[in-house]
Amino acid sequence: MVPWHLRRWAVAGIVAAAVGVFVLAIVPAGRAVQVVCSVLVLFGSLAFATATIAGIVRRELRKHVEIVNEAVERGVIEVLPPGRVADRLLERVYGESPFNREVTTALLGGEGRLLDGGDLTISEHTEIDFRLDSVDDRSYHLVMEQRYSFRNRIPTSTFVIFATSAPRLRDSIISGCRLPLFELWFVRDDTDEPRFEDSVEGMRESVRIGMQYADGRGRVHDVEARDPAPYLREVKLRDWGRYLDFFRTDGGESGAVLDRLDYMDSLRIFEVDLPALAEGDAAVTTILRLTVRSTTLQLVSDGFCYWQAPYPCFVESMRFDTTKLQLGDSPELYVNAKAFTISSPGSLDTWTSGASATDLTLRSWMLRGHGVALMWRPFKEA
């Protein structure tokens, strides 16, 4: 804790004092010698005492500075919105850039402009269930149930579903959506047999939404998963910019602009009125938990299916049921699950038989764009 220059002064003082005492003890007494030795002893003692006191004071000051710094940091964090704190940190680390906002949004789960974090969507307990049921040799139904428990109560009255067959939109919607609660359906369209519209209609009929919400008095209410069809409306083309910032004329904060007309046949947006879905007398003020179940039609030839985090999620576990998935003439199915864009211990080490359901324990944070892919292949004899 004592800096090197103070150590040198302390050592020099000890040496000088020791020399002075030694000379006085062994050299015959003389006035000049006594004066010189006395000066050495005095100088050495003062140097040692000064260096020692300075070292002690400096050590104590450092302790108090650390305490003050911690108090100041906590005070700043408490009085500034989370987004502003993250912006300043990224500017210091990465430098100033308009693209830092994307990192902030992905990390925080929202803009972070409210002091209490009320505009952040973070699921601190997430469970995902997959079930793959063969329809024919070419396609299968992916039945997915997602259960979210939010860290903060989400002050929203709508839930939005994006359905697209455009790979570019699939990769852009999660980062381009500024709504707190949404779901993304991706349908890999078949050029030989276009099926986007039929698939979306099938998914629309299959979706079930449940929730736990708090009313204006803070009382908690539970709504079992139910069909939202009576309370679901499709968003018109002219209103797409309200839901996805890259369809706005200014491109939003990212600056990117896409032409809505280019995606008329590959994107549909639906909005669910959550207060109407609750069908109760109590007003829906904030959302605590959300359950979304849906069925999508997918191609077996893809060889994989996946889940992507729409906002920061701490994923406890995922369950994959492939017992009803058939691959042509193959007598057995092998599966493997891997987390992508992150390093996670939650992955299967080897290909395992798909004859029984597979549980994958993740216990890992996933941000926007992170996810888990389930891959499959037919059994092959060694």
Task: Tell me if the pTM is above 0.85.
Answer: no
Residue 129: what pLDDT? 95
Cα separation, 93 vs 96, whole angstroms: 9
Cα separation, 316 vs 344, whole angstroms: 12
Residue 130: what pLDDT? 93
Listed residue (92, 110, 242) closest to 101, CA to CA: 110
Cα separation, 321 vs 68, whole angstroms: 55
Residue 27: what pLDDT? 60
Cα separation, 210 vs 290, whole angstroms: 6
Residue 113: what pLDDT? 84
Q: Which amino acid is at 357?
A: A
* Distance (Å) of CA 376 to CA 137, 145, 150, 329, 373: 15, 20, 32, 15, 10
Are 245 and 312 a contacting pair, CB within 8 Å? no
Give the angle 158-162-164 at the CA atoms, nearest 5°: 170
Cα separation, 332 vs 353, whole angstroms: 7
Give the angle 306-329-145 at the CA atoms, nearest 5°: 25
Are 274 and 287 a contacting pair, CB within 8 Å? yes
Our measurement of the distance from residue 54's CA atom to the centroid of its chain's CA atoms, rounded to an integer in Å, reads: 47
177: which DSSP letter?
Answer: B
The count of other CB atoms within 10 Å of the CB of residue 290 is 24
At 367, list the tokens.
Answer: 């941000």
355: which DSSP letter?
Answer: T
Q: Which amino acid is at 68?
A: V
User: What's the number of CA atoms in the CB half-sphere (13 Å) around residue 254?
Assistant: 21
Are 179 and 160 a contacting pair, CB within 8 Å? yes
Are 2 and 55 a contacting pair, CB within 8 Å? yes
**Using CA atoms in the order 159, 165, 168, 170, what is the torsion angle rounded to 10 degrees?**
40
At 71, list the tokens.
Answer: 């108090």
User: Tens-digit pLDDT profile for the chain (382 aa)?
Assistant: 556 555 565 666 566 666 656 655 666 656 666 666 666 666 666 666 666 666 666 776 676 666 666 666 666 667 778 888 888 888 888 888 887 888 888 888 888 888 777 788 999 999 999 999 999 888 899 999 999 999 888 888 899 999 998 888 887 887 778 788 998 888 877 677 777 888 888 888 999 999 999 988 889 999 999 999 999 999 999 999 888 888 876 545 555 688 889 999 899 999 999 999 988 767 888 999 999 999 988 888 888 989 989 889 999 889 999 999 988 777 788 888 888 876 666 666 678 888 888 888 888 899 887 889 999 988 764 3
Are 24 and 37 a contacting pair, CB within 8 Å? yes
Cα separation, 199 vs 318, whole angstroms: 25
